[in-house]
Structure 1
């Protein structure tokens, strides 16, 4: 089935309609017969309806023509969808019903008065363009509802060629968007995918003997035979690849349409405004692009940085930007630098924003650069009918689900990488968890994880099916069942991560794969295994704290010439900022405000007391910082000449709800407050400002950023005293939680 066969089928139908119009005595002026919808586009499948309308001028009575025209069409055996309307009724119906308006955009003359057809088509298009800004929100809502109801052609188990996201209906909507003159679509790419799907639909009609759009499992072999592909799997990849491309074009075009609609009407072109986001990347009209300040040929992290900013902010990652970075950007060093690893984890943990960005990376070759192993599972169908998605989409959905669980785990970076790689062995001849483990270890090592972390990632991939398998088939209270878990998962950290990965994997599989019953069984098994592992490891919740170094005190600070000493030295992938000042309530909050105002991402920090001095060290990802400029701004904040509160709040972004916990058992001399929250500008300033406002001092602080999550531990004391009373500790936790939520 080809475009030529569809054209021939349409030509035969046109001849039939013209003959019927002529035999019925249809006039050559004042009335016409037109095709609309798919017939109007000349895309008749073997069992498509003939969508036709008899149109007449308002002052012309069609008389008996309306009752005699349809009989020869019915007698021919065609399925007929017909109506009779005046020209003004056509325009009124188009204005009242969006579906009618879309169908009339493809109106095509068949017989009768060609001038009436031309006039009607001109008026329909003009009305569509005039009303586009008012009607497109309704069309967008219709498209979203259809996508939610039917799913994606590229990824659902039983795809619908017409109604699914990326299907033929979306291709028609894209043509309608182009007809508004508000946006454009890459025509060649759209047509290539549309014609391929039309070919497949023709094969389905011919094979089934009826109009059908859903591709059942048994149909893939027939499609393979009809398209000259080697087997059913190749046919699936062929269809899904075109569906993914159309879905990508659809999402991209709709985001650009929404950006146009959000702008006020202007009489002339506006120069796009660039809003800086991160070094080298900026936002322009809702898309992440390069800002021109960094040479792509010299910065291997630009692609990751652009993708991460787009996903976290739910913006479009401009395809042209990715294509340029793929073509011009240098290869990432092996192993990856620490910043690259953090950017990847932030990208994976960005939540729903990951879906569109990952799709763009796929369509533009970005994934070939970042993760060449992705080709193993690209558009790979699942063998199990339990899965609602293809393997690659399931993996992305698992990352989205895992991103909601990072507050539960100590190492969200390992969780997110394991979520990305847990099914990388699919498609192998051996069990996919076995095949995937060495691949996952190789990728984790390339990303720059230390050997101990590489081993954990490998273990998670190897045993990601362990917990649900045992929990649902064995007695979780039996010591032998617990021993089977602890014999394979040998550390409390690995068990904690495996439990989160198990839930994320199940939730991404299908709505029925993670029931409350199954969740309860897995949780019971994990709790029993955790008791055994923690006892064996002698582990408690306090964690280890590093011994604070004794730093030399600068002469100028010692003799009172300056109130603050600040130094900057290069470190791995960034800079280390050291601040010393006479200790006071709010000192750390001021330093945190300084870093937030400078938009310096904090990867880690330590703070401690040294005599009457407060000392803090901050690891940031920027280089070439000016110590004098930083010190002057810090002094201005401390003296009240700069109020950072409002400025810092404008930099903050929403994320998961924070976790704020008091650890009373962690120290006898201070109250330990543990904060896990989305890493974002202003986070430390917000926490430390609350603590300072309560009149509490920070004896020491331990700040770490693991991918998207900041894990910050503060040892709090009353001014001139020891640990906080129970009520004061509770009030501190409540105030911090309220400030971050």
Structure 2
């Protein structure tokens, strides 16, 4: 597929339309059949509609002509989007609808009066330029609204190459912005990327055999083959790279539009814009950071970082021409970096939201690799976890942005920001990314000139950046082994503060669900417990039992179910006299109602079983939950049978592992399975059938996977023997597999 294929399809459609117009007896003066939109741009995809308008001068009746034109086009099997309008009606339609106005910028003659078509095209372009100052704010709102609805092409798991941010629609909007004569855009780069995306769409529609702009996961391999690329991974990288480039051009152009609209309409650009020096060798011109007169890139290795930091802190554009020149002519910073280079880097990373646009410019111009060649390891690398919104490289930038808001909570902001930059640098390796990333981060930190102690600290943060989140959500905080695990890796309160800030930034950058009030509460509580031990050497006493007051009716043998609104969901607290199988009944209560459980904690308090559940459904009625619980306890509902009937096939087998290092007081069973109703019930009911008590449970759902950890003891108290632990793991694995296959 190529431009020649689109030209051939367009020529065939043009011939069909022209013949239909001639056969209709349409007039040669005063009326014309014109193509608009993608057809007007001669960009016919395999499944494109013919978007045509029969336009006429006022007083020229073309209604009968229209009927005779449309019917042969329909009969040919062509998909047709048509309308009939007079010349004044065309202007009115463009005034009333931005989408129509954009489509009419690409009017192209098909048949009839060519002078009318020429006048229409000239009038539409002139009208667009004249009204652009008034219309561009609305166009920007329309574009950003589409982006918020669809997402960004470079990061979507199922990208829409037309409507997503960085897609074909954005490239068309950029052409319309250039047509205003208010701003310019790197034309060669835009056209190269736009035409390449059109090639992708052609192959996609040929592969799918239908009109589609969405690339499903199973289509990447065929798409790559059609584009002449090596494999599915190469296909993804190609498409996401195009999306990234058009997104960058779009961000850049809209910032320039904002700058132009902020000036008086009478403002005229000088032949050479005024330069306002803002730092050595760096100036401000027309709202962008550029090189000052007399700047010498070959003699000042700090120019690139200085210009980038100034642009990011001011949240303005770093001129792509400036960045490209510095990438070509600038001298690299010699290792180890001087302190000024580190300060400039930290200023850049800690600049907040202004970092994103500047980082895009550094990437697109190749300037970034001059300072950080290791960035190529993670550039455009997809995340393996569905919870992440972005590719790895963009996630890292977002982590830096989130971390910039936390620098006042730590003693070493410079270490925090560099650790945020490098925390995922090991992604894409065959080994665990935090393990692979540690030596890479150490090497980079040494090159940046950090002293040995700071290098060790940065490397430690990269190695253990998942420690707090994974431990808090999968381990019992009251078990001494849990806090001991943290303090064995994080040996000082300074490191703990940095790790907590990095954990928060990393989670917020991944997804709102990754830093819910529930998860953040667990992580902060674990960090508080670890801080107490690091400060005093004495572990915190368990605090959970002091937080839950046992209701009077529970002490009389009943069950208590309370529902309260949480910041990001609903929290259900369930308390009843403890017994083997109690947690299974609680879990069945939710599973049978198809209520999604996001997270849960359960523990024994005195002789009572307490569990707190974070669920994804609002407006729960505790009376309905109680009825369901009593039906389960009373045997009126067979939970296992109903859940087996409702389950669907799970692609991956569950993983069930005994973690002997996690506790000296209990046997810790870790279960990882596809998230679906009933996972906790199946585990707990299986254990109850074996007369094994669940001392505490820690349930966490993130994306499509549930990670549930159960602290087990024999009903008569005490950890399980190795044999019993193996039997329990086997039984749980078999039960989960059976339900998944059911």
Distance 1:265 1:305 in 2: 33
Match of residue 88 from structure 1: 88
Q: Per the alignment, do residues 537 and 449 of structure 1 end up closer, same or farther by CA in structure 2, a change over 3 Å counting? A: farther
What is the DSSP-based 3-state SS (H/G/I as helix, E as strand, rest coil) of the residue aligned with 1:89? helix
Match of residue 147 from structure 1: 147
Match of residue 297 from structure 2: 296
2:486 matched to 1:485? yes
2:240 matched to 1:240? yes
Match of residue 28 from structure 1: 28
TM-fit CA distance, 1:387: 1.3
Question: What RMSD in Å do the two structures reach over aligned CA positions?
Answer: 1.6
Distance 2:293 2:212 in 1: 50
Match of residue 595 from structure 1: none
Match of residue 388 from structure 2: 387
TM-fit CA distance, 1:24: 2.1
TM-fit CA distance, 1:537: 11
Asked if the contact 1:491–1:537 (Cα under 8 Å) also holds between the matched residues in 2, the reply is: no
Distance 1:17 1:216 in 2: 34
Matches within 5 A, 1:364-403: 364-403=365-404
Matches within 5 A, 1:137-286: 137-266=137-266, 269-270=269-270, 271-286=272-287
Q: Residues 466-510 of structure 1: CA distance to partner in whole angstroms, max 9, x if unpaired?
A: 111111111122111111111111111111111111111111111
Asked if the contact 2:309–2:347 (Cα under 8 Å) also holds between the matched residues in 1, the reply is: yes
Distance 2:161 2:511 in 1: 22
Asked if the contact 2:403–2:417 (Cα under 8 Å) also holds between the matched residues in 1, the reply is: yes
2:524 matched to 1:523? yes
Distance 1:88 1:508 in 2: 51
Distance 2:131 2:278 in 1: 35
What is the DSSP-based 3-state SS (H/G/I as helix, E as strand, rest coil) of the residue aligned with 2:182? coil
Asked if the contact 2:301–2:330 (Cα under 8 Å) also holds between the matched residues in 1, the reply is: yes
Q: Residues 651-672 of structure 1: CA distance to partner in whole angstroms, max 9, x if unpaired?
A: xxxxxxxxxxxxxxxxxxxxxx
Match of residue 47 from structure 1: 47
Distance 1:382 1:396 in 2: 14
Match of residue 75 from structure 1: 75
Q: Where do 5+ consecutive residues of structure 1 fail to align? A: 539-741
Asked if the contact 1:161–1:168 (Cα under 8 Å) also holds between the matched residues in 2, the reply is: yes
What is the DSSP-based 3-state SS (H/G/I as helix, E as strand, rest coil) of the residue aligned with 1:512? helix
Asked if the contact 1:157–1:387 (Cα under 8 Å) also holds between the matched residues in 2, the reply is: no
Asked if the contact 2:350–2:403 (Cα under 8 Å) also holds between the matched residues in 1, the reply is: yes
Distance 2:516 2:331 in 1: 46
Asked if the contact 1:157–1:390 (Cα under 8 Å) also holds between the matched residues in 2, the reply is: no
Q: Tell me the TM-score normalised to structure 1 length.
A: 0.71
Distance 1:122 1:374 in 2: 47
Distance 2:485 2:283 in 1: 51
TM-fit CA distance, 1:210: 2.2
Q: Residues 371-413 of structure 1: CA distance to partner in whole angstroms, max 9, x if unpaired?
A: 0000001111112222111110011011111111112111111
Distance 1:216 1:63 in 2: 43
Distance 1:463 1:230 in 2: 35
Q: Once structures 1 and 2 are overlaid, which stretch shifts more, 174-183 or 426-435?
A: 174-183
Q: Once structures 1 and 2 are overlaid, which stretch shifts more, 176-185 or 108-117?
A: 176-185
Match of residue 407 from structure 1: 408
TM-fit CA distance, 1:188: 1.6
Asked if the contact 2:240–2:380 (Cα under 8 Å) also holds between the matched residues in 1, the reply is: yes
Distance 2:413 2:397 in 1: 16
Match of residue 466 from structure 1: 467
Asked if the contact 2:207–2:223 (Cα under 8 Å) also holds between the matched residues in 1, the reply is: no
What is the DSSP-based 3-state SS (H/G/I as helix, E as strand, rest coil) of the residue aligned with 2:513? coil
Match of residue 588 from structure 1: none
Match of residue 61 from structure 1: 61
Distance 1:421 1:134 in 2: 44
TM-fit CA distance, 1:269: 4.4
Q: Residues 527-552 of structure 1: CA distance to partner in whole angstroms, max 9, x if unpaired?
A: 111111122499xxxxxxxxxxxxxx
TM-fit CA distance, 1:18: 1.4
Q: Where do 5+ consecutive residues of structure 2 fail to align? A: 540-742
Distance 1:293 1:530 in 2: 53
What is the DSSP-based 3-state SS (H/G/I as helix, E as strand, rest coil) of the residue aligned with 2:89? helix
Distance 2:39 2:238 in 1: 26
What is the DSSP-based 3-state SS (H/G/I as helix, E as strand, rest coil) of the residue aligned with 2:99? helix
TM-fit CA distance, 1:66: 2.2
Asked if the contact 1:233–1:381 (Cα under 8 Å) also holds between the matched residues in 2, the reply is: no
Q: Residues 353-381 of structure 1: CA distance to partner in whole angstroms, max 9, x if unpaired?
A: 00000000001111111100000011111
Matches within 5 A, 1:725-740: none
Count of paired positions: 538
TM-fit CA distance, 1:339: 1.2
Match of residue 670 from structure 2: none
Distance 2:537 2:273 in 1: 61
